Structure 1
Amino acid sequence: MRTDPSAAMTLLTRLGFAARGLLYLVIGILVLQTGRTEDPSGALGVVAEGGGRMLLILMIAGFLAYGLWRLSDAAFNIERHSSDGRGMRERIGAAVSGIVHLLLAWQAISLLQGTRSSTGSGGSGAEEGAKTALQLPMGQFALELAGLVLLGVGVAQLVKAWKADFLQHLEPGVARQPWARWIGQGGFAARGLVFLITGGFLVGAGLKERSTEAGGMAEALDWLTSPWDTIVAAGLLLFGLYCLIEARFRVLNDVPVGDLAHKARAKLPI
């Protein structure tokens, strides 16, 4: 019995949604129960430490498939975005998301091989990235631009939460459920606030030319005062739940694996 590669890719992409949801659940639970803050990379280390080798392998497969699905969407518009500016922004966002999740897969592989500590590197990835950027020509401008992009993403996430247009990607029967709406709205709103804060950090790092001003999700949660840290952490937990809803009920257009492979072979100089 032959396996349809497109169907297999779709199944693994759903696994990627679930893996992403697990990371956000860990982030939210850690803050709410212990006050410990982590970003998705740090949460991956926590999962690896407590979940074992098999769970890590499943997450690697999911992140690889999810990342490739998002990159395929950016390149080939498999999710059928509109041809206007909004559609282009969505495809750019898909490309960025794809790269981020491929990096998470790489980090998970490093954990599996024992070449990366499950408790993280001990420093802020955003700070290290800002430090590297400031050493490059136009690095200050690049940091400010990256911060402005994150601010824009944060606003877009808040708008998505307000309009609840994320529901259009779910199966109709689930999309009509009030619980799906409020879980998604809470999750996207919290994520939007985190993007706004981290974007502000990057803009500040660029303006002051100080990498120590940069920070990611963990630093954003640390920056928030009570009760906002708890509220945002609860929202990130809701986002994790929404990712699990997407893993089961999101309408996915198959990645045409066979067609893409055929086109790639046709371009080879053989």
Structure 2
Amino acid sequence: MNAAADTAEQVHQSTWMDWAIRIGLVAYGVVHLLVAWLAVQLALGDKEGQASNSGAMQYLAQQPLGGVLVWMIAIGMFLLVVWRLLEAAFGYQDEQEDSKRWRKRATSLGKAILYGALGVSALRVALGSGSSGKGGTDSTTAKLMDLPAGQVLVGVVGLAIIGYGGFLVYRGWSEKFREHLDAQGQAGKDGSAYVLFGKVGYIAKGIAIALVGVLFGYAAITHEAKKSGGLDQALQKVLEVPFGQVLLIAIGLGIAGYGLFCFARAKHLSR
């Protein structure tokens, strides 16, 4: 058992794993740039594409060589899953406090699940089984509603999503994300630009995710699954508020900043 653990730890710390992480981060950055593009297009009146991760995959698949690129994104996401699972199992050995170590490992496991969901979405689109419909989230919420205490469960999910969005906003505002860049990646004019991308990116992504949580919360209060929704529906709701078009464009540009930060992190990886 110890030999297997030592082997896994060596893999986790290996040079090829660094390259796998870089490839995955580039793929993750591409997804965010596509979501940002679709969000801006939505703000400008184009409602054909979904401003969401799955919508981004479908949009990319329709472009020249898009099928190949979707496959590459799927592979990149699954590489990130492997990294995060190894991190959840063997990472943070230098942490002195057990509670802090296990909290970080749990966070890594959660990120593995998120990357895995995106990887599966890309894989489904690559295989031609990705749906262009917008009822997936409604259907999932309806199933939760049908469970015992389902209304409460949907509300808890909404609060958890809002909490995660708030956490991203906090990381952006406090610049905690700097730890993901090596010293060179934080130095000079390039470093200042990378930090700016990260700051606006984390804040914008956090706001967008929190809006999804608000929709879940509203669905729980009204007991109507159709009131919930994914990122695309949340961004459409932004258009209904005063200056919504300007706000949505700002969120789109912010999400693009997060995508660019992923590229910077891939170049100046610190883990």
Return the TM-score normalized by structure 2.
0.82
> What is the CA deviation profile of residues 218-256 of structure 1, one whole-angstrom value per residue up to 9, with x for unaligned ones?
11211112221111111011111111111221213xxxx
8 Å Cα contact 1:38-1:217 kept in structure 2 = yes
> 1:87–1:159: structure 2 CA closer, same or farther, 3 Å change rule?
farther
Corresponding residue to 1:30 among 38, 43, 46 = 38
> What is the CA deviation profile of residues 189-222 of structure 1, one whole-angstrom value per residue up to 9, with x for unaligned ones?
0011112211111112122221111112111211
Corresponding residue to 1:45 among 58, 70, 79 = 58
Paired with 2:80 and 2:73, the residues of 1 have a C-alpha distance of: 10
Alignment of 1:39-118 (within 5 A): 39-50=52-63, 51-78=65-92, 83=97, 88-116=102-130
**1:165 counterpart = 2:176:** yes
- What is the deviation of 1:96? 2.0
> 1:148–1:87: structure 2 CA closer, same or farther, 3 Å change rule?
farther
- What is the deviation of 1:149? 1.0
Paired with 1:74 and 1:126, the residues of 2 have a C-alpha distance of: 28
Corresponding residue to 1:215 among 210, 214, 229 = 229
Q: Please give the root-mean-square deviation of Cα atoms over the aligned residues, in Å.
A: 2.2
8 Å Cα contact 2:93-2:101 kept in structure 1 = no
Corresponding residue to 2:269 among 216, 241, 250 = 250
**Identical amino acids, percent of aligned pairs:** 24
> 1:157–1:81: structure 2 CA closer, same or farther, 3 Å change rule?
farther
Counterpart residue number, 1:136: 147
**1:193 counterpart letter in structure 2:** I
Counterpart residue number, 2:258: 239
> SS state of the match for residue 62, structure 2?
helix
Return the TM-score normalized by structure 1.
0.82
- What is the deviation of 1:52? 2.8
- What is the deviation of 1:137? 2.0
Please, which runs of 5 or more residues in structure 1 have no aligned partner?
253-270
Paired with 1:66 and 1:83, the residues of 2 have a C-alpha distance of: 26
- What is the deviation of 1:88? 4.6
Pairs aligned (count): 246
